[in-house]
Amino acid sequence: MKHWYRLDINTKDALGIDVKKHCFDNTDRADVFIEGHGGIWTFGKDEIFKQSWIDYVQETCPYLEVTGALIFWRAPGYQHAGAHIDVAPNSSPSRVEGIDYENGFHATNSSDSMDANDFYPVVSSYNWILNSDDDSAMTWHEPLPNANIELKKFTDAVHYDEVPIVDCKEIDRCTIGNDKLVMVRTNVLHNVDMGQQERWAISARCVMGWSNWQEAVETLKEYIVE
């Protein structure tokens, strides 16, 4: 099964800020920041995107209502040792009340800092890379039978079900690119295979109007170009 689809939605003129400068000026607001290696930031839609682009996305594809973004930075060659599944608090603006989100993997896990019942798996996000010379790839994985699964909380905004990459088998990969939105599956294990270029990824988050990946793909099929 394919875990990504490129959409006929342009990323040109999406950003209202200098993302790199804004992130490095606000390392105190980072959800995760590892000096010299990488960071994750969460921003509301009005802080990062131009309203004209938000309007363009919804006019082009009425199913996509942008709510905000996560920014992922990795230094050249930095390889994270785990693959993860995205989960979000039930209070997230992307969650739709009444939708029963597919929740097989995540529902089996909990920890002292997180109760699995307080979160839901994020089915999909909408990504692009800032730098045109990006040589990384987003990868998807299945856990091996002996996988050590850990529900991990970084901050109130960032929660992952994480599995060491050595306990996984790769099942798909994609070079995201920088000119079109790529809908990526985030409710199965995924990671980034880093190259030798710095990586800045914009991950737009939208109202989650579908309960599973198959429904997302079927809903957006007329906007898929690859």
pLDDT, one tens digit for every residue, the chain (226 residues): 899 999 999 999 999 999 999 999 999 999 889 999 999 999 999 999 999 999 999 999 999 999 999 999 999 999 988 888 887 777 777 777 777 777 655 544 555 555 666 777 788 999 999 999 999 999 999 888 887 776 565 555 566 667 889 989 999 999 999 999 999 999 888 999 999 999 999 999 998 888 899 999 999 999 999 9
State whether 85 and 54 are in the same domain.
Answer: no
Contact 142, 171 (CB under 8 A): yes
State whether 178 and 142 are in the same domain.
Answer: yes
| Domain assignment of residue 44, yes or no | yes
pLDDT at 32: 87
| Domain assignment of residue 61, yes or no | yes
3-class SS shares of the chain: helix, strand, coil, % to 5: 20, 40, 40
State whether 114 and 49 are in the same domain.
Answer: no
SS3 55: helix
State whether 119 and 60 are in the same domain.
Answer: no
State whether 87 and 187 are in the same domain.
Answer: yes
pLDDT at 193: 96
State whether 57 and 160 are in the same domain.
Answer: no
For residue 132, how many other CB atoms are within 10 A of its CB? 9
What is the rounded CA–CA span in Å between residue 84 and residue 60?
31
| Positive/negative CA dihedral, 213, 217, 220, 223 | positive
> Number of folded domains in the chain?
2
The whole domain housing 46 covers 40-68
pLDDT at 151: 59
